[in-house]
Amino acid sequence: MALISKGEFVADDWRRLADEEALPENGKIIISLERLDNALKARGANGDIGVIIDNTLEIDKLTPVLAKLGLIAIAFPSFADGRGFSLARLVRRAGYRGELRASGRLLADQYAHALGCGFDTVEIPDDLAQRQNETQWRSASKTHQRTYQRGYLSSGSILDARRKAMQ
């Protein structure tokens, strides 16, 4: 898998564990939601536990542990399935401040929207990374500096900029 942060392909500090793998004593790990309670009990909430969730998960199931997680990865089974964008907004509105990762078959054309919804990083399969290189992702990260929706882009919304200019 290739990891994209700020339009660049970067090394991944997190290790994704399969459900049958033993829980290591240290290091940053990404686990399934089913293993989360046991992992938090075994290792504590020191920010080195991440969870991968389906894009259909109800946010209420995750809210009690948000502050204990260092990373939340939301699965995108297809580039045409946008439910992960809505879930990302809900996760951010619930107060999550850690790394939010889109994981799956996203396209570079969707990158600006992913950033606007609150994602920090995007993880894509290697075959997709070969077809859409770093130049495309870097270019896509700069396509929309402002949007109409208030989101998580540092430049703010178009409406906020207009209000500020009128003052």
Annotate the chain with DSSP letters as a single string. Answer: -EEEETTEEE----EEPPTTSPPPSSS-EEEEGGGHHHHHHHH-SSS-EEEEE-TT--GGGTGGGGGG-SEEEEEES-TT-THHHHHHHHHHHTT--SEEEEEES--GGGHHHHHHHT-SEEEE-HHHHHHS-HHHHHHHHTS-S-BSS--S-TT-BHHHHHHHHH-
Full domain range(s) for residue 161: 2-166
- Which CATH number belongs to the domain containing residue 103 in this structure? 3.20.20
pLDDT digits over 19-52, tens only? 999 999 889 999 999 999 999 998 877 779 999 9
More confident residue, 96 or 136: 96
Residue 60 burial (C-beta neighbours within 10 Å; 0-12, 13-18, 19+)? exposed
Tell me the pLDDT tens digit for each residue of 80-126. Answer: 898 999 999 999 999 999 999 999 999 998 988 898 888 999 999 99
Residue pair 100/72 in contact by the 8 Å Cβ criterion: yes
Asked whether residue 155 carries a pLDDT value surpassing 60, the answer given is: no
State the total domains in the chain. 1
Whole-structure pTM value? 0.85
Measured in degrees and rounded to the nearest 5, phi and psi for residue 4 equal -115, 125
